[in-house]
Structure 1
Amino acid sequence: MAKRAARRLASVERSATVALLDRVQQLRAQGRSLVDLSRGEPDFVTPQEITEAAVAALRSGRTHYSPSRGLPELREAIAAKLLADNDVVVSAADGVLVTPSAKHALYAAFTSLLDPGDEVVIPSPGWVSYAAMVSLAGATPVPALLDPATGFRITEAVIEAAVTPGTRILLVNSPNNPTGRMLDAAELEAVLTVARRHDLVVISDEIYEHIRYDGHPHLSPAAYLRENTLTVNGFSKGYAMTGWRLGYLAGPADLVAAARKVQEHSVSCAATFTQIAGTTALEDSQPAVEEMVSAYTARRALLVEGLNFLPGVTCAAPEGSFYAFPDISGTGVPDGSEFAEWMLDDAGVVMTPGPAFGAGGRTHVRLSFAASEQELTDALERMDKALRSR
């Protein structure tokens, strides 16, 4: 057979972040001393009460299939959380789909809503898997290039310029990975205006919602455009549960039902005992989340101050998430991919190249401060030495 893979995979690269993790593991196996600031997961242990809830569930025999849409108690907890925290009204019965990760919630949404020829507008820079997922669904990702000079602000003009008659979905992510930006009221209004004008479905990825700084409010599009918005969220980032693989999709019953078909014929359901743990997370673990955010706040200050001290590097303080996204265009190595490669080879500091997040990140790199203060200090010292010896 000459053809071994589907043609739609031709435009899909490997996940840049997963590939980088593989390379880090290979280099460490070879004895390289590395400081890894590419991590996309909290470095904290899952809060104890969540783990204990899962262990109790396992010991009591909760090891079988759950309903495909999710356990009723978790769907009720999710609906209550959305109403209390986000002013978003959804039906626990048919407006919530519990998924094995927020990533799968996104994949199920794209797969269930998109046909060949459809387009999805994705603000750029944006998370590395958005465009790939759209392509895997047989549709076309269209970047809306955000301007670094404005702090990557979303404007009506930028989004409108990317919309065509084939546009079906407008994607937003706040707090944003990789920029750390959060939607403000004017940006949200721009999103809502364009979505209403063209009758678009808005998919709002809110996975970093709990990690915010300086009192920045979290704005959910579904609170203002309920009938056309799907909200994606989960437990990985806020509750340090990346390995548990638990997320959810919430919104209008007909759109959630479509995504449920994808889930039923792919993964069936999320693991039952993780759903029980997720219910505990929503109901009992907010103090632990606040402790983690307090630690992130101190690390953010250390990293941003240190980056702005480096020659040729400028970095705005992120408003949310645990990423800094510095501009390295003044270093003499203005391409983020080349800069990241240089820092890995010469300084032993692992960071994610900005271009991995789309054309909007060309002159940037992403550094995670889900790392100890000692690791952050070590990384900054290594980068400073490399930059000043160039």
Structure 2
Amino acid sequence: MPVSRVASRFAGIEESPTYAILDLAAELRARGESILDLNGGEPDFDTPGHITAGGTQALGGGFTHYTPSRGLPALLEAIGDKLLKDNGLSVDPARQVIVTPSAKHALFLSVMTLLGPGDELLIPTPSWVSYPAMARLAGAEPVFAPLSTDNGFRLTRENLEERLTPRTRALLINNPNNPTGNVLTATEAEAVAEVARAHDLFVITDEIYEKVRFRGEHLSIAALPGMADRTLTVNGFSKGYAMTGWRLGYVAAPEDVSAQMLKVQQHTVGCAGSFVQRGGISALTGPQEPVEEMRAAYEARRDLLVEGLSGIPGFVCPSPDAALYAFCDIGGTRFADPAAFTTWLLREAKVAVTPGFAFGPGGERHVRLAFATDPKTLGEAVDRIKTAMERL
């Protein structure tokens, strides 16, 4: 047999399951078809003007060179202030925070620093598609803790503990959750903390949808008793500030862990973009009204989409607490396989959605539809889906 031309670490890593839908959508568009894309989660709003001004002023002033690997001191301070005010976390920004080119890279730093060969990362699912791949790239093994529709995909201590092994090193918690839109309750957050404390585990929390929240209080696990020294808090600017293309995030971690994470940063990307970080300073220290205006618009779009889909026989679409997605159970339709349904829907209704199995065990029978687009498009998508289902 021929010797593989790439490292063995890629053996267990596949391309995202969503790419089949993306490829088919591109093929249909190339034929002139009108495709409505509810597949992705990119805000359709422009970045607020005062943030853009911060970045462009930095560019115009020649601020285009390297920054300290940890990040600009002013941005680190702004992040520290934000964490204290919004999350109840008291950190030393100069020693516990790292600014990264995207929250995704902050997650990668976290996983690469904590995990190695033989370790396991426990991931409650459904969850974001890249978590398992990151664990495998670190040489570790993702272990799934499937949540149930019976209790609305809610975490319990029992559900987590029954998947623990002596090799479990950390838990990865997405709060608010993509794709379900759940916000952790106080009971759930304490269950995570109890498991981590009892079994001496780290917790990585992905809080990128914190500012796109419609119900419930945002609870950062690092703020709970005994959790500051074992929790890595990841956040960023993409969703709340409509800054996806800026690629800007951060991670707050215990000082000893952060020191090792900085090595990964230095030997991979070096630092986040200089003028991009200036935009981040403007985001955190400038007016927050645009964030609330976008959040309110998403809430109205959520209601429009969920109400419309809930009127289609066979669809069960709970109203999400947060994030940018409706996660609908299609088990009541004639389609038992979400992959077959998404392909059929794209061909028959010209609407692109994401099959639930892409988000891991527990996502079966579901599809994810993003409402990060304008109300007119959402209304037309609902009409197309309804018409296609009526033709069956």
Give the partner amino acid of 1:246.
L
**What displacement does 1:27 show?**
2.7
Residues 85-113 of structure 1: per-residue CA shift (max 9 Å, x gap): 00011111110000000000001111111
Give the partner amino acid of 2:5.
R
Q: State the partner residue of 1:201.
A: 202
Q: State the partner residue of 2:294.
A: 292
What is the SS of the residue equivalent to 1:232? strand
Q: State the partner residue of 2:380.
A: 378
Give the partner amino acid of 1:128.
V
Whether 2:40 is the aligned partner of 1:32: answer no
Whether 2:107 is the aligned partner of 1:106: answer yes
Give the Cα–Cα distance (whole angstroms) in 2 for the partners of residues 26 and 62 of structure 1.
Answer: 41
**What displacement does 1:20 show?**
4.1
Q: State the partner residue of 1:229.
A: 231
Select which of 311, 314, 317 maps to 1:312: 314
- On the 8 A contact 2:354/2:367 being kept in 1, the answer is yes
**What displacement does 1:55 show?**
0.5
Give the Cα–Cα distance (whole angstroms) in 2 for the partners of residues 96 and 148 of structure 1.
Answer: 36
**What displacement does 1:26 show?**
3.6
**What displacement does 1:178 show?**
0.3
Give the partner amino acid of 1:231.
T
- Which 5+ residue runs of structure 1 have no aligned equivalent? none
Give the Cα–Cα distance (whole angstroms) in 1 for the partners of residues 228 and 331 of structure 2.
Answer: 41
Q: State the partner residue of 2:133.
A: 132
- On the 8 A contact 1:126/1:357 being kept in 2, the answer is yes
- Which 5+ residue runs of structure 2 have no aligned equivalent? none
Give the Cα–Cα distance (whole angstroms) in 1 for the partners of residues 41 and 27 of structure 2.
Answer: 18
Whether 2:250 is the aligned partner of 1:256: answer no
Give the Cα–Cα distance (whole angstroms) in 2 for the partners of residues 134 and 193 of structure 1.
Answer: 23
- On the 8 A contact 2:21/2:343 being kept in 1, the answer is no
Residues 208-230 of structure 1: per-residue CA shift (max 9 Å, x gap): 0001113x100000101101000
1:61-140 alignment, distance < 5 Å? 61-140=62-141
The TM-score, its normalising length taken from structure 1, stands at 0.98
**What displacement does 1:383 show?**
0.7
Q: State the partner residue of 2:284.
A: 282
- On the 8 A contact 1:125/1:359 being kept in 2, the answer is yes
Give the partner amino acid of 1:218.
H
Whether 2:271 is the aligned partner of 1:266: answer no
Residues 166-202 of structure 1: per-residue CA shift (max 9 Å, x gap): 0001011111000000100110111001000111000
Give the Cα–Cα distance (whole angstroms) in 1 for the partners of residues 307 and 115 of structure 2.
Answer: 43
Distance of aligned partners of 1:131 and 1:285 in 2 relative to their CA distance in 1, 3 Å threshold: farther
Q: State the partner residue of 1:213.
A: 214
Residues 293-346 of structure 1: per-residue CA shift (max 9 Å, x gap): 111111111111111101100011000001100100000102222211111111
- On the 8 A contact 2:18/2:355 being kept in 1, the answer is no
Give the partner amino acid of 1:258.
Q
Distance of aligned partners of 1:17 and 1:276 in 2 relative to their CA distance in 1, 3 Å threshold: farther
1:3-18 alignment, distance < 5 Å? 3-17=4-18
Give the partner amino acid of 1:75.
L
What is the SS of the residue equivalent to 2:94? coil
CA RMSD of aligned residues (A): 1.1
Q: State the partner residue of 1:340.
A: 342
**What displacement does 1:22 show?**
4.6
Give the Cα–Cα distance (whole angstroms) in 1 for the partners of residues 130 and 21 of structure 2.
Answer: 14
Q: State the partner residue of 1:164.
A: 165
Identity value in percent: 54
**What displacement does 1:151 show?**
0.4
The TM-score, its normalising length taken from structure 2, stands at 0.97
Number of aligned residues: 389
Residues 135-173 of structure 1: per-residue CA shift (max 9 Å, x gap): 111100000010011100000011001111000010111
What is the SS of the residue equivalent to 1:331? coil
- On the 8 A contact 1:47/1:285 being kept in 2, the answer is no
- On the 8 A contact 2:21/2:342 being kept in 1, the answer is no
Give the partner amino acid of 1:230.
L
1:169-184 alignment, distance < 5 Å? 169-184=170-185
Distance of aligned partners of 1:108 and 1:23 in 2 relative to their CA distance in 1, 3 Å threshold: farther
